[in-house]
Structure formats: C-alpha cells, structure tokens
Chains A and B, each alone.
Chain A
C-alpha cells in the first residue's frame, strides 16, 4: 500500500469510527455495569482506577487492575474484540515503540543474550511490560467510560466535579469538530486524487502530505473558530446543560465506595 493511500485509508477509518461514536452514542443508553451508575460516579471511578494503575509499582497488581478493567468493559456490554482492535492493538503499537528499547538498554541481570547482537535484561523486560500494561489499563478504562457514557454527560460530569469551564469547552470543541476535520481531510485527498495523473514518487508523496497537513491545520483553526461562534450564538457560556438531571441514588454511593476502595487497595498493595 502506498504512503498516501495508507493515510487516506486511515482517515477514512477514523471518519467511520468517529461517525459511529457520534451517531450512536448508544452504548451509553444500554444497560450494563458502568451505565448503571451516575455519570459523575463513572468519571470518578474510572479516574481513580486509572491513577491507581499508573502509580502502582508491582507488575502483578497492574495486571490485576487490567483484568478488572476488562471485567468492567465486559460487564458494560462492550465487545472485547472491538476493544482489542481499536484500543489494545493501537496502544501496543504506540507504547511498544517507546518500551522496546528499554528491554535492551536497561542494565541488570541478563535473561537472554545473543553475544555481540543483543541482551535482554530482567529489569528492562519488567519496565517495558509495566509501561505497556499501565497504558493498556488506562486506555481500556478510558475507552470504556467514553463508549458507555454520552459525551455530553461526561462533560457535564466533569463540570460538576469543578473542572474549569475553559477545559470543558476545549473538550467539547475537540469532539465537535474533529469529525468535520477528518471529513475535510478526506475530501482534500479525494480532490487531489481526482486531479492527479500518474504515480507520485516518494519525495513527492511526502511533500504532498506535508502540504496537506499544513492546509488542514489552517482549516482546523478556522473551523474551530466557526463552531465556537455558532455555539456562542446559541447561548453557550462554558456550562454544559442537559435535559436530564444527575441524581445520586443508593447504588451510586455503593459504586463510588467500591471504586474508591479498589483504588486505595491497589495503591496500597502495589507500593
């Protein structure tokens, strides 16, 4: 697959994925473990588990939190195959790039040595596994939260937890125009394709991609400004207002206690 067609295919997949996320927001209304709780409890609970997974030093404990994250996702009726392809593989790819050198470069007791070629150290392998596992845990929990909670509910929950209105506005804007932006990028590639004759050389493809990225950046600034004006025009003042009110019930308090306890326990045993 050529470089430009790879980028185009990626953009199309992104567009489809975002369209799905924006259109459906349906997982949020399905009944499931996480959906059972008030959005504020979901946000607090997931944040607590993410932080506890990150600060945890023991590999076995991080693995247990990862297991818990998978159980929550599964209980919230998320497809594990979707999580595997959209979250786990992507995170593995990105963190793997950072983690792999640590396997070879971290000093310590060698586990496997090919003389003159490489040496895998025990602390290196542990560090790399810990990094990947922490990232996978955080990504799984965050993805579960976002897929099980309509985005506007997440924003309202963040505001009610006193997150500054400016940050919530930024999140709202990002979510709102990212789809448009991807669509614009897609159209730019299609337009270029409709005018292209012959095959581009590698350097030409790179130049074209760089130019497209530059134009897209300018367009994104303009687009975000326009979307913001449209929001202001209809009375947006930084607050997120919804038809539904958030009300904590008995099971929400129980859930909150459960999340906080799990987080505290993880930090304690994972020291």
Chain B
C-alpha cells in the first residue's frame, strides 16, 4: 500500500502496436518520492510503460492519472497542463541519439528550458550548473553527434535534469556504457534517495537494482508478474528465470563442467552451483 501522495495511478491499462499487445491490463500506483525499478527482458513492455507515463503514448484501454488528474491527449494540448507536466516529468530515452538533436551540447541542454519558456538569465545559469554537475562543461560547444556513448548518455541526462523534474523516467540508463559511466549514473540515482524525486528506471541489469530502487516490478509480456523489495525479487531465482532475467550458464572450472543460473555483472565467486554439476 502506497502511503505517500500518488504521483501516478494506472488502472487496467492496455496498449498495442498495430495489434501486437505491448501492455496488458496493467494496474500500478507510484507514490511521490518512490524509486522503482521495472525489470523485464526485451519486449516485456518496460519502454512502452515509460512512454505511457510520460504522456507520449495513450492507452487503448484503462486510465492513467498524474497527481490525481487524468493524463489524456486533450489535457496535454492545454498549454497550462502541458507546461506543468513537461516541467515535472522527464524521460531519458534508451537511445541517446534520438534525444540529442541540437547543433551543440549547450543547445541540447538548453532545449527543454527554452521550450518551457524559462527566463533567459535563469536558463543560462541553470544550464551552466547542470553541465558542471554532470562533468560536461568542456563539451559545451561540441556536437552531440560526435560524442562517445557515455558522453551522449550524460548529455541526455543533463538535458532532462536541467528541468529539475519531480519525476524521472529512465529507460535503460546504464546499458552499453563502460563501467565508470555506469557507476556515475548509478551514483546519481542513489543521490536522490530520501529526496522527493520519483524515479522509475527500466532495466534488465540486475546488478544495479539494489542501488537504484526501493521497489521492484517484474514485467513479462506487458503485465506485472511480481513486485517486492529488491532483495525479495532478486532472491527469487525461479521468478528471474521465468522473466528471462537470468539464464543457465554452462562452463568449466579446472576440468569440471557445470551449469547454474547466471546473472550478468556478478563475479564467478557469487555463482551458486546448480544440480547439474558433473565432472
């Protein structure tokens, strides 16, 4: 039961891509300040759910309420509601290339505030602050197209963090990043623990879940199949296998061939040897 005021209240939501179901009868409540991880294999509906939460897709059935108000295309066409919603809810896309479309990194970070009609002085000050915070000040005049994967991701994050949104929706924020960039992003999400920021992160990287979430929802075929604390979910090996988040890994140690459920990012010492172990 959510005790804090509700940021999102979703009931019976279904969504499909030209007949192919992506979300099925999904109900979910997200409280203010919650840090949630959406776990699921590719195609489980994580990205679609984030887009529904960001008011980019609208469900074919069911309802989505944001802070008690229905999130509908009609409401988002109203200037006042759209400005408030876009100011308070921000989505970082999985592929930073689609999110970076301005000529320079500075323009990219300033794009959101400009669209939301900030005062120029505040905009320039805030853009400078967030670029310094994200360590991208030296990239200011560079083209986003010419950056490395980690730099692109940081610029993409900066371009939404500059708005200081209350709700952050992150789609696979650490995927395809080097370990240092991954840990920087995890550190950033950890810093928001205890603040009023609501953070919903879609990922299939189990090793970061305990650091970025207080509640985990496991998605399969567009619906929530399990929910719990990170330790509850991560200790349920059967659930993880069912959701395609771990797989059977077969290899040998000093001539001994064995197999066991395998999670990416864990060291060999953490592997629990399974029953199929054999010489």
Residues on A facing B (Cβ under 8 Å): 19, 22-23, 25, 150-152, 176-177, 179-180, 223, 226-227, 229-237, 239, 241-243
What number of A-B contacts does a CB cutoff of 8 Å give?
71
Main secondary structure of the interface of A (DSSP, over half): helix
Kindly identify which residue among A176, A180, A227, A233 contacts B90, using a CB–CB cutoff of 8 Å. A233
Judge if B159 is at the interface, Cβ distance under 8 Å.
yes
Judge if B191 is at the interface, Cβ distance under 8 Å.
no
Main secondary structure of the interface of B (DSSP, over half): helix
- Pair B82/A235 contact, Cβ less than 8 Å: yes
B176 contacts across to A, CB distance below 8 A: none
- Shortest beta-carbon distance, A175 to chain B, in Å? 8
- Pair A235/B145 contact, Cβ less than 8 Å: no
Judge if B123 is at the interface, Cβ distance under 8 Å.
yes
- Pair B103/A241 contact, Cβ less than 8 Å: no
- Pair B116/A235 contact, Cβ less than 8 Å: yes
B123 contacts across to A, CB distance below 8 A: 243
10 residue pairs of the A-B complex, CB under 8 angstroms, read A150-B103, A152-B107, A176-B101, A226-B98, A229-B98, A230-B99, A233-B90, A234-B159, A241-B117, A243-B124
- Pair B103/A227 contact, Cβ less than 8 Å: no
Judge if B54 is at the interface, Cβ distance under 8 Å.
yes
Task: Give the nearest-CB partner of B127 in chain A.
Answer: A243
- Pair A22/B95 contact, Cβ less than 8 Å: no
Cα distance, A257 to B51, chains bound together (Å): 50
**Among residues 67 to 112 in chain B, which have CB atoms less than 8 Å away from a CB atom of chain A?**
82-83, 86-87, 90-91, 93, 95, 97-99, 101-103, 107, 110-112
- Pair B160/A229 contact, Cβ less than 8 Å: no
- Shortest beta-carbon distance, A244 to chain B, in Å? 9
Kindly identify which residue among A23, A150, A235, A242 contacts B112, using a CB–CB cutoff of 8 Å. A235
Task: Give the nearest-CB partner of A223 in chain B.
Answer: B98
Kindly identify which residue among A23, A223, A231, A234 contacts B103, using a CB–CB cutoff of 8 Å. A23
B97 contacts across to A, CB distance below 8 A: 180
Kindly identify which residue among A176, A229, A237 contacts B56, using a CB–CB cutoff of 8 Å. A229
Judge if B229 is at the interface, Cβ distance under 8 Å.
no
Given A230-B93, A242-B114, A22 contacting B99 (CB threshold 8 A):
no
Cα distance, A150 to B104, chains bound together (Å): 11
Kindly identify which residue among A23, A151, A227, A243 contacts B114, using a CB–CB cutoff of 8 Å. A243
Could you mark each residue 23-42 of chain B with 1 if its beta carbon is under 8 Å from any beta carbon of chain A, else 0? 00000000000000000000
- Pair B146/A233 contact, Cβ less than 8 Å: no
Given A152-B103, A227-B98, A234 contacting B112 (CB threshold 8 A):
yes
B54 contacts across to A, CB distance below 8 A: 233
Task: Give the nearest-CB partner of B144 in chain A.
Answer: A22
A177 contacts across to B, CB distance below 8 A: 101
- Pair A234/B56 contact, Cβ less than 8 Å: no
A152 contacts across to B, CB distance below 8 A: 102-103, 107
Cα distance, A9 to B160, chains bound together (Å): 37
Which residue of B95, B103, B160 has the most chain A CB atoms within 10 A of its CB atom? B103
Kindly identify which residue among B95, B112, B160 contacts A226, using a CB–CB cutoff of 8 Å. B95
Task: Give the nearest-CB partner of A241 in chain B.
Answer: B114
- Shortest beta-carbon distance, B232 to chain A, in Å? 32
A243 contacts across to B, CB distance below 8 A: 110, 114, 120, 123-124
- Pair B111/A234 contact, Cβ less than 8 Å: yes
Judge if B235 is at the interface, Cβ distance under 8 Å.
no
A242 contacts across to B, CB distance below 8 A: 114
Judge if B143 is at the interface, Cβ distance under 8 Å.
yes
A25 contacts across to B, CB distance below 8 A: 103
Task: Give the nearest-CB partner of B83 in chain A.
Answer: A235
- Pair A22/B114 contact, Cβ less than 8 Å: no
Judge if B4 is at the interface, Cβ distance under 8 Å.
no
B120 contacts across to A, CB distance below 8 A: 243
Could you mark each residue 236-259 of chain B with 1 if its beta carbon is under 8 Å from any beta carbon of chain A, else 0? 000000000000000000000000
